[in-house]
């Protein structure tokens, strides 16, 4: 069983065979069970370890044991020159590589869904690369932002392509993240011990949506300007909401200050936070392994297990190539318009709407257009998000490897809410 294999590895992974013969004291020993090192002095090898709390005079003061555990039990592992050099300095390298090599992915009729996490990661990498290139020419000021976008789009060699890739890849990343979230939800991949994968994933989704929201204003065009005006107004009705609106806008209205803030969040704060949570998410994926749907093992529906490295990763790579081809096709055939420059003094034109991934929430706000309706919508979003993020802790049945139809129903309701809301906005406003 892949997951169990992975789970057992901490205990099972032995330090690899010693390369060159070494004095017995330097022999690698299992982590945690490391023998006392005698490397410093032969005489001290005979000395008995002094218990840390031996002296009453030093009460409350931590006294480290004189004989310490071997800090680098894997230092004599059989490795190549480069890995060996790194291993000497980065003690845990060999066990980490050892671990990665053992990860396996279960194969069954739903394995297809395992590719969407990797695809989200792929489009995120495209965002980093194209975003950095756009940064070479973009200037986040009210006077220059729009003109720089026109310049990138029309003058900079391949600037149009980089901009289109960034805009399309953002949309594909959000789409992949949603598909990945719902597929892991319906496969109950969040169940014990994967609760933190779900929580870190949820934070990643919020950050991804944050990228979309903050990036929307950067071209400083009319549509983005007024959509940001509406979007940043939403918290106003909540307690303490005025403060949040001020914080987001940097003033009473959307203006140059807002652009600076959105830019700072888009290129510094959000990427930093994503890196942090992504590292945790991916580390958990490696440490806990990939789950299989409830009951599949017992029903004999698992066809086998595939090594993550290199087999599954190679298939992931094929998925990325297909994703890249689709991205290029969309960027070339369906370019995003720049629109007209924002003018805060003119009235908002008709048909202002946010990006498609906020349409369901936007529709709810429109449906609750009565006294107190906006506050009600905020309460619904907040409670909904809290319930959603806490699902792994509430779904006790799934954690006992039992089916949990109530949670499947919850997932279906959330999915239906999102699809219907999105479709209704599409019907009213078009694309």
**Where does this chain bind ligand HEM (CB under 6 A)?**
114, 116-118, 120-121, 124, 177, 180-181, 184, 189-190, 194, 197-198, 201-202, 204-205, 208, 278, 281, 285, 290-291
Which residue, among 253, 258, 262, 426, has the nearest Cα to 348 in the 3D structure? Answer: 253
DSSP string, 121-135: HHHHHHHHHHHHHHH
What minimum distance in Å lies between the beta carbon of 44 and ligand HEM?
Answer: 48
Give me the count of residues in the chain: 431
Please state, in angstroms and rounded to a whole number, the distance separating the CA atoms of residues 158 and 429.
32
Q: Using DSSP, state whether 68 is helix, strand or coil.
A: coil
How far from 26 is each of 20, 23, 69, 72, 203, CA to CA, in Å? 11, 6, 12, 10, 44
What minimum distance in Å lies between the beta carbon of 122 and ligand HEM?
Answer: 8
- For residue 108, the 8-state DSSP code is S
What minimum distance in Å lies between the beta carbon of 362 and ligand HEM?
Answer: 20
Nearer to ligand HEM, 212 or 421 (CB): 212
Asked if residue 115 lies in contact with residue 184, where contact means CB atoms within 8 angstroms, the answer is: no
Please state, in angstroms and rounded to a whole number, the distance separating the CA atoms of residues 126 and 160.
15
* Six token digits for residue 143: 């006077």
Nearer to ligand HEM, 206 or 365 (CB): 206
Please state, in angstroms and rounded to a whole number, the distance separating the CA atoms of residues 37 and 29.
11
Please state, in angstroms and rounded to a whole number, the distance separating the CA atoms of residues 287 and 198.
14
How far from 253 is each of 214, 221, 228, 239, 265, CA to CA, in Å? 16, 16, 10, 19, 18
Nearer to ligand HEM, 186 or 336 (CB): 186
Nearer to ligand HEM, 8 or 14 (CB): 8
CA 186-191-196 angle, 5° bins: 110
What minimum distance in Å lies between the beta carbon of 110 and ligand HEM?
Answer: 10
Q: Residue 154 class from Cβ within 10 Å (0-12 exposed, 13-18 middle, 19+ buried)?
A: exposed
> What is the maximum span of the chain, computed from C-alpha positions, in angstroms?
86
Nearer to ligand HEM, 79 or 291 (CB): 291
Nearer to ligand HEM, 121 or 217 (CB): 121
What minimum distance in Å lies between the beta carbon of 402 and ligand HEM?
Answer: 18
Nearer to ligand HEM, 170 or 204 (CB): 204
Nearer to ligand HEM, 59 or 109 (CB): 109
What minimum distance in Å lies between the beta carbon of 108 and ligand HEM?
Answer: 11
What minimum distance in Å lies between the beta carbon of 204 and ligand HEM?
Answer: 4
Which residue, among 17, 22, 11, 15, has the nearest Cα to 74 in the 3D structure? Answer: 15
What minimum distance in Å lies between the beta carbon of 105 and ligand HEM?
Answer: 8
What minimum distance in Å lies between the beta carbon of 157 and ligand HEM?
Answer: 31
Residue nearest ligand HEM by beta-carbon distance: 201
Nearer to ligand HEM, 118 or 421 (CB): 118
Please state, in angstroms and rounded to a whole number, the distance separating the CA atoms of residues 288 and 190.
11
What minimum distance in Å lies between the beta carbon of 311 and ligand HEM?
Answer: 14
Residue 305, H or E segment: strand 304-307
Please state, in angstroms and rounded to a whole number, the distance separating the CA atoms of residues 71 and 37.
9
Which residue, among 426, 205, 184, 144, has the nearest Cα to 292 in the 3D structure? Answer: 184
Nearer to ligand HEM, 152 or 189 (CB): 189
What minimum distance in Å lies between the beta carbon of 189 and ligand HEM?
Answer: 4
* Residues paired with residue 305 on neighbouring β-strands, in sequence order: 106
Nearer to ligand HEM, 181 or 378 (CB): 181
């Amino acid at each position: 069983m892949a997951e169990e294999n992975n789970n057992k590895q901490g205990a099972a992974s032995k330090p690899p065979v010693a390369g060159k013969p070494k004095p017995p004291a330097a022999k690698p020993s299992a982590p945690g069970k490391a023998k006392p090192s005698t490397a410093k002095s032969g005489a001290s090898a005979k000395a008995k370890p002094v218990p840390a709390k031996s002296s009453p005079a030093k009460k409350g003061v931590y006294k480290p044991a004189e004989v310490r555990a071997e800090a680098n039990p894997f230092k004599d592992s059989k490795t190549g020159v480069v890995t060996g050099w790194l291993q000497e300095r980065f003690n845990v390298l060999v066990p980490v590589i050892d671990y990665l090599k053992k990860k396996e992915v279960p194969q069954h009729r739903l394995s297809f869904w395992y590719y969407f996490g990797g695809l989200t990661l792929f489009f995120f990498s495209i965002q980093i690369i194209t975003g950095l290139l756009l940064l070479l020419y973009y200037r986040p000021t009210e006077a220059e932002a729009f003109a720089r976008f026109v310049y990138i789009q029309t003058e900079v060699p391949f600037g149009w392509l980089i901009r289109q890739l960034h805009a399309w890849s953002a949309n594909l990343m959000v789409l992949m993240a949603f598909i990945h979230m719902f597929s892991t939800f319906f496969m109950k991949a969040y169940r014990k011990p994967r609760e933190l994968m779900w929580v870190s994933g949820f934070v990643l989704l919020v950050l991804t949506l944050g990228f979309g929201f903050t990036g929307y204003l950067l071209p400083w065009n009319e549509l983005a300007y007024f959509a940001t005006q509406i979007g940043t107004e939403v918290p106003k009705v909540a307690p303490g909401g005025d403060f949040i609106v001020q914080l987001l806008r940097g003033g009473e209205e959307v203006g140059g200050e807002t652009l600076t803030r959105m830019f700072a969040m888009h290129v510094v704060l959000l990427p930093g936070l994503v890196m942090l949570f992504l590292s945790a998410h991916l580390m958990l994926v490696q440490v806990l392994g990939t789950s299989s749907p409830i009951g599949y093992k017992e029903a004999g529906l698992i066809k086998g297990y595939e090594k993550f490295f290199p087999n599954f990763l190679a298939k992931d790579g094929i998925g990325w190539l297909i994703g890249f081809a689709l991205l290029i096709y969309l960027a070339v055939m369906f370019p995003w318009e720049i629109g007209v420059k924002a003018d805060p003094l003119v009235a908002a034109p008709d048909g202002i709407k946010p990006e498609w991934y906020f349409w369901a929430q936007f529709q709810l706000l429109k449906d609750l257009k009565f006294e107190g309706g906006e506050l009600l919508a905020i309460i619904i979003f907040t409670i909904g998000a809290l319930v959603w993020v806490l699902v792994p802790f509430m779904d006790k049945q799934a954690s006992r490897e039992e089916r949990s139809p109530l949670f499947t129903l919850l997932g279906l309701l959330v999915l239906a809410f999102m699809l219907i809301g999105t479709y209704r906005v599409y019907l009213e406003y078009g694309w």
